[in-house]
Amino acid sequence: MIEIRDLGKRFVDRSGGGAVQALDHVNLTVGDGEFLTVLGPSGCGKTTLLRHIAGLEPWDTGEILIDGKPVRGPGPDRAMVFQSFALLPWSTVLENVGFGLQLRGVPKAERDARANELIELVGLRGFERMRPGQLSGGMQQRVGLARALAVKPRVLLMDEPFGALDEQTRRLLQEQLLGIWEANPIAVVFITHSMEEAVLLGDRIAVMTPRPGRIDEIVTVQLRRPRSTNLDRLERSPELLNTTADLWRRLRSEQSDLARSTDA
């Protein structure tokens, strides 16, 4: 469904500081209904890659196809959830969740009905009239997830959506996200710094190299689905522990190689 072919991105420092190759010959596919997690060291281009798939930023070389059609910019087939919540602070929960539908010209009664359905789904019933500043971080991220799902995307792009949350809230939202996805699988590309989260959520894990970012390896996760009701058991399973340990060895090796090449 998503095909990324030889993607490259170079950032030029206009102040004269040179250029940085952020992505280099990235090749990746994501299937219909697949939950792909993307893992890599800080600065390897994970967020840049996600923004390219979303059509929010141009790239220099290569191409991105969705269902065989080139990505030229944002589209109704994709929705994105940000780490920073990115909610409208002056709008209510109901208005935030329905915002994408409003942009698409959906009549108010219809978008309110859809928004209320999603608010119920993410566990925020009773908070419809509250504004983001009145909500906890976890509740705000639930609003962001509901807003993304409201437009019924074929591709859900998530940029470390739980990275700023405490561990308890993070685990609750992992369970909730899995439950929603298991009930209606769509293609998900989920960026994370957490090896455990990458394994718990993903069907496959795309491991990226330090900058310039490339896909170093694709790891298939052996944990059975459904997982939303089994996270407590799965986090202690040999499959998760072994896969997490393998990921750490690979990432540590990459960082050591990068440090040696820098020193040289």
Closest-CA residue to 23 (of 56, 71, 58, 69): 58
Q: What is the pLDDT of residues 78-104, one digit of tens each?
A: 999 988 888 999 999 999 999 999 999
Split into its structural domains, the chain has a count of 2
Query: Residue 120 region, left (φ>0) first, then alpha (ψ -120 to 50), else beta?
Result: alpha
**Is the confidence at residue 22, as pLDDT, over 70?**
yes
- Mark whether 15 and 132 lie in a shared domain: no
Give the pTM. Answer: 0.92
Q: What mean pLDDT is reported for the chain? A: 92
Domain of residue 72: give its range: 2-77+156-255
Domain boundary among 106, 126, 152: 152
- Mark whether 166 and 251 lie in a shared domain: yes
Q: What is the pLDDT of residues 249-261, one digit of tens each?
A: 888 877 666 555 5
Give CA torsion, residues 236, 239, 241, 247, to 10 deg.
Answer: -150
- Tokens 């089994």 sit at which residue? 230
